[in-house]
Structure 1
Amino acid sequence: MICREQDGYLIMMRQHEHGLLAGKFAERFKEQHVPAEGRRAEVLRAISHHDRGWIDLDETPFWNDAEGAPYTFIDFPLVPKLTFYRRGLDEIEADTPYGALLCSSHYERLIEISGEDCPELTAYLKHEEDRRARIHRHLENSKPLAEGELYYDARLLQFCDDLSLYLGLSEPGSPKSEEHPWFRDGFSGSEDFSFTSGRQIMAEWQDESTLLLDPFPFTGNVEVAFKLRRVPRKDAESKGIARAYSSTPEEECRITVAGRSK
């Protein structure tokens, strides 16, 4: 679950909803799939479904007593999280082995950033290392990877994931001073795209429905809609988070992502 608090409400967005949003951004990315256009459909499916392991977990949110807030993808207990990571990757691999290779590498980077460690994590990392080796062998026998292909696709997944997270973690129209600390210096890794000339892509709200990006990464303005729930904190505390969440109707948030005017 992606969660932030605003004016007495817990704004909650499902991880898979966030993944589908990332896939919409990937569809409109300005650079062509480089260098193997034939895998584009697999890359788009993988980006859209990279967080599908969270689908069942997000059906019923859990309360983190230590933080006084719902558990999120950031602080959810590691061992069950790894179980659902693996389940999601299994489902992706059944659909697109290359997509599973891409997503497995993505999760490994996230785990390295977290700095967590335990025997279950060691077993998970070994399992995923074996998965990636198996997929590499499969691809070598069918459609070998071109030079730089996996690196480029990993950057695309990372950027679309981050931009989607930005929308989930931001109050539309909020000033730059209230931006989530992860993104204050821009989207990490976006400087690797050729059109940025080594600059990180920066985001800033123009108003409550328009987010500006510079340098602009898409073929044109991108209009997106995604679902979230605004759960009153008082309901979560009085009823419990699971009941409060299930009784709160979903609402649709519509945002236009545009380039900064010159």
Structure 2
Amino acid sequence: MIRRDVQLADGAPGWALVSQIEHARIGALLASECRGRFGSVHASLIRDEVLVAIAAHDDGWREWDEAPQLDVKLGRPLSFMELAAADATTIWSKSIAIAEEIGPLAAWMVSGHFARLLEHSEHARHEPLASSWLAEIGPRREAWFATWQAIDPANRDLGVANEALQWLWTFDEASLWLCCSAPIMGEPLRAGGSFEIAGCGTTLEMKFAAISAAAASPDERGQATATPWRFDDGIDVDIESLIVPAVRYATPQELLAAGRPQALRWRLASPTACS
């Protein structure tokens, strides 16, 4: 569950809640519009698996999203960044199991994505549970890669697999920016700009920047750009969210019942189209 602070129409504090399933869907939407490596005849099946893996990489969160845990002290829904390592790795393992049903590349990608998150987590990576989870997933990733490569060794090497994983990282980061940080509901642009460098250091690196906020009105879209522009056309992005008052809740059911659905609408276009 993504939780971000917003101001309600009456000026009261609120939260915009976006499910992990929805966040992953937005990442896959952006990836599906991207030009790049997976356009050749030999790579088309790889592209299909990559896109499905991106769309499904957070499917292990489904039960949590449907009944989000609450912070026992504050009565607010826990953000995905506030989970204990035990809860996070349990959910990640569910996502990996779902990815394995898609194919060996999907399982290799999704497990690699979560391993990277854990390795970069200052508060979790030193926990014994995290170390044991990483030790367990390593040999499984090697087996998934070997199975995938054996299908077509001439066109399936580590470079291709790594680029597939970079697609997941890049569009996960781009989606998280839209869901978590890009200005919404009339919020002002931050000093210095509202932007995210997604896929930093990869061949897909892009700077996503907001020009205007996603408005509360369903007829208006926030404007954002990506540089360099790696898409054929502009992309309309509609993120399903639940807007709830920022008060203490006793149960997940009470929280969800207090919310009203609202789409966070964006138009992603090339910098030249927005100038």
Question: Per the shorter chain, which TM-score range?
Answer: 0.7 to 0.9
RMSD: 2.5
Cα distance, 1:238–1:121 mapped onto 2, change above 3 Å: closer
Inter-partner Cα distance in structure 2 for 1:241 and 1:179: 37
Inter-partner Cα distance in structure 2 for 1:226 and 1:204: 15
Partner of 2:197: 187
Residue 193 of structure 1, CA deviation: 2.5
Inter-partner Cα distance in structure 1 for 2:114 and 2:191: 28
Quick check: 1:128 aligned with 2:137? yes
Taking structure 1 as the reference length, what is the TM-score of the superposition? Answer: 0.86
The letter of the residue matching 2:212 is: Q
Alpha-carbon contact 1:79-1:120 (below 8 Å) kept: yes
Quick check: 1:21 aligned with 2:26? yes
Q: What is the CA deviation profile of residues 113-169 of structure 1, one whole-angstrom value per residue up to 9, with x for unaligned ones?
A: 112132322221122112101112212432332352122112211111111111111
Taking structure 2 as the reference length, what is the TM-score of the superposition? Answer: 0.82
Quick check: 1:87 aligned with 2:94? yes
Counterpart secondary structure, 2:197: coil
Quick check: 1:257 aligned with 2:268? yes
Inter-partner Cα distance in structure 2 for 1:80 and 1:179: 36
Bigger shift: 98-107 or 247-256? 247-256
Counterpart secondary structure, 2:209: strand
Residue 44 of structure 1, CA deviation: 0.4
Counterpart secondary structure, 2:120: helix
The letter of the residue matching 1:206 is: S
Q: 1:217 aligns with which of 230, 237, 257?
A: 230
Q: What is the CA deviation profile of residues 187-245 of structure 1, one whole-angstrom value per residue up to 9, with x for unaligned ones?
A: 24345327x7xxx42412335322122222211100122211001113xx155554122
Q: Any unmatched runs of 5+ in structure 1?
A: none
Partner of 2:157: 146
Alpha-carbon contact 1:3-1:72 (below 8 Å) kept: yes
Q: 2:240 aligns with which of 219, 227, 246?
A: 227
Cα distance, 1:147–1:98 mapped onto 2, change above 3 Å: closer
Residue 107 of structure 1, CA deviation: 0.7
Inter-partner Cα distance in structure 2 for 1:33 and 1:189: 17
Inter-partner Cα distance in structure 2 for 1:75 and 1:127: 23
Alpha-carbon contact 2:149-2:157 (below 8 Å) kept: no
Inter-partner Cα distance in structure 1 for 2:230 and 2:200: 9
Q: What is the CA deviation profile of residues 83-114 of structure 1, one whole-angstrom value per residue up to 9, with x for unaligned ones?
A: 11101101110121111101111111111111
Residue 66 of structure 1, CA deviation: 5.7
Cα distance, 1:104–1:252 mapped onto 2, change above 3 Å: same
Alpha-carbon contact 1:34-1:149 (below 8 Å) kept: no
Cα distance, 1:67–1:227 mapped onto 2, change above 3 Å: same
Cα distance, 1:238–1:78 mapped onto 2, change above 3 Å: closer
Counterpart secondary structure, 2:230: coil
Inter-partner Cα distance in structure 1 for 2:208 and 2:268: 12
> Whose helix fraction is larger, Structure 1's or Structure 2's?
1
Quick check: 1:201 aligned with 2:203? no
